[in-house]
Structure 1
Amino acid sequence: MNYLEVSEQLVKLLGGKENVISAAHCATRLRLVIDDESKIEKEQIENLEGVKGAFSSSGQFQIIFGTGTVNKVYEHFGPMVGASMSDESGSAPSHNDAARGKMNPLARFARSLSNIFVPIIPAIVAAGMLMGLLGLMNTYNWVDPEGGLFTLLDMFSSASFIILPILIGFSAAKEFGGNSYLGAVIGGIMTHPALLNPWGLSGAEPETLDFFGFGVEMLGYQGTVIPVLLTVYVMSKLEKMFRKIVPNVVDLLLTPFLTIISTGFFALLIIGPLGRILGNGITTALDVVYNTAGPLAGLIFGGLYSTIVLTGVHHSFHAIEAELLVNIGGNYLLPIWAMANVAQGGATLAVFFRTKNSKTKEIAFPAAFSAFLGITEPAIFGVNLKYRRPFIGAAIGGALGGAYVVFAQVMANGIGLTGIPLFAIANNPLHYGIGFLIALSAAFIATLALGWKEEK
Structure 2
Amino acid sequence: MDYKDIAKKLVPLLGGKENVVSATHCATRLRLVMSDESKIDQSEIEELDGVKGAFSSSGQYQIIFGTGTVNKVYQPFAEELEIANGENSSESNAAPDHKEAAKQNMNPLARFAKTLSNIFVPIIPAIVASGVLMGVLGLLNTYDVFTPESSIYVLLNMFSSAAFIILPILIGFSAAREFGGNQYLGAVIGGIMTHPTLMNPWGLQDASANPETMQFVGMNIELLGYQGTVIPVLLTVYVMSKLERGVRKITPSAVDLLVTPFVTVIITGFVALMAVGPIGRLLGDGITTALDAVYGFGSGFAGLIFGGTYSLIVLTGVHHSFHAIEAELLNSGANYLLPIWSMANVAQGGAGLAVFFKTKNKKTKELAIPSATSAFLGITEPVIFGVNLKYRRPFIGALIGGAMGGFYVTMFGVEANGIGLTGVPMAAIATDIMNYFIGFIIAVGGAFLATLLLGWKEDK
TM-score under structure 2 length normalisation: 0.98
Work out the CA distance in 2 between the residues paired with 1:170 and 1:82.
35
Q: Find the counterpart in structure 1 of residue 80 from structure 2.
A: 80
1:340-383: CA deviations, max 9, x gaps?
00000000011111111110011100000000000000000000
Amino acid at match of 1:89: E
Query: Is 1:389 paired with 2:385?
Result: no
Alignment partner of 1:56: what SS? Answer: strand
Q: Find the counterpart in structure 2 of residue 229 from structure 1.
A: 234
Query: Is 1:447 paired with 2:426?
Result: no
Kept in 1: contact 2:31–2:62 (CA 8 A) = yes
Q: Find the counterpart in structure 2 of residue 293 from structure 1.
A: 298
1:282-309: CA deviations, max 9, x gaps?
0001001101133122111111100110
Alignment partner of 1:144: what SS? Answer: coil
Q: Find the counterpart in structure 1 of residue 101 from structure 2.
A: 98
1:22-47: CA deviations, max 9, x gaps?
00000100000000001000000001
Q: Find the counterpart in structure 2 of residue 206 from structure 1.
A: 211
Query: Is 1:405 paired with 2:409?
Result: yes
1:46-95: CA deviations, max 9, x gaps?
01111000000000000000111111000110121133423223542121
Alignment partner of 1:293: what SS? Answer: coil
Alignment partner of 2:21: what SS? Answer: strand
Query: Is 1:362 paired with 2:362?
Result: no
Query: Is 1:141 paired with 2:182?
Result: no
Work out the CA distance in 2 between the residues paired with 1:211 and 1:162.
27
User: Percent identity among equivalent residues?
Assistant: 71
Shift of 1:199: 2.4
Q: Find the counterpart in structure 2 of residue 430 from structure 1.
A: 434
- Structure 2, unpaired ranges of 5+: none
- Structure 1, unpaired ranges of 5+: none
Which is worse superposed, 132-141 or 436-445?
132-141
Kept in 2: contact 1:24–1:90 (CA 8 A) = no
Work out the CA distance in 1 between the residues paired with 2:77 and 2:397.
36
1:179-205: CA deviations, max 9, x gaps?
000000000000001101112542311
Query: Is 1:160 paired with 2:163?
Result: yes
Q: Find the counterpart in structure 2 of residue 373 from structure 1.
A: 377
User: Counterparts of 1:6-405 in structure 2 under 5 Å?
Assistant: 6-83=6-83, 84-85=85-86, 86-92=88-94, 93-202=96-205, 203=207, 204-327=209-332, 329-405=333-409
Which is worse superposed, 201-210 or 442-451?
201-210
Work out the CA distance in 2 between the residues paired with 1:375 and 1:42.
22
Work out the CA distance in 2 between the residues paired with 1:256 and 1:158.
30
Alignment partner of 2:419: what SS? Answer: coil
TM-score under structure 1 length normalisation: 0.99
Amino acid at match of 1:296: F
Work out the CA distance in 1 between the residues paired with 2:229 and 2:203.
13
Work out the CA distance in 1 between the residues paired with 2:340 and 2:222.
37
Alignment partner of 1:274: what SS? Answer: helix
Amino acid at match of 2:219: F
Kept in 1: contact 2:204–2:210 (CA 8 A) = no
Kept in 2: contact 1:31–1:90 (CA 8 A) = no
Amino acid at match of 2:188: V
Alignment partner of 1:32: what SS? Answer: strand
Shift of 1:121: 0.5
Kept in 2: contact 1:125–1:416 (CA 8 A) = yes
Amino acid at match of 2:248: R
Alignment partner of 2:91: what SS? Answer: coil
Which is worse superposed, 426-435 or 207-216?
207-216
Work out the CA distance in 2 between the residues paired with 1:447 and 1:150.
47
Amino acid at match of 2:249: K
1:391-443: CA deviations, max 9, x gaps?
00000000000011100111000000000000000000000000000000000
Amino acid at match of 2:368: A
Amino acid at match of 2:11: V
Kept in 2: contact 1:345–1:371 (CA 8 A) = yes
Alignment partner of 1:221: what SS? Answer: coil
Quickly say closer, same or farther: Cα 1:447–1:189, change in 2 above 3 A. Answer: same
Work out the CA distance in 1 between the residues paired with 2:9 and 2:343.
38
Amino acid at match of 1:4: K
Work out the CA distance in 1 between the residues paired with 2:92 and 2:20.
15
Alignment partner of 1:22: what SS? Answer: strand
Work out the CA distance in 1 between the residues paired with 2:215 and 2:133.
40
Work out the CA distance in 1 between the residues paired with 2:338 and 2:66.
26
Shift of 1:143: 1.0
Alignment partner of 1:325: what SS? Answer: helix
Amino acid at match of 2:330: L
Kept in 2: contact 1:162–1:199 (CA 8 A) = no
Work out the CA distance in 2 between the residues paired with 1:287 and 1:341.
22
Work out the CA distance in 1 between the residues paired with 2:441 and 2:365.
22
Shift of 1:276: 0.5
Amino acid at match of 1:445: L
1:85-108: CA deviations, max 9, x gaps?
232235421211110111111111
Paired residues in the alignment total 455
Kept in 2: contact 1:3–1:73 (CA 8 A) = yes
Alignment partner of 1:186: what SS? Answer: helix
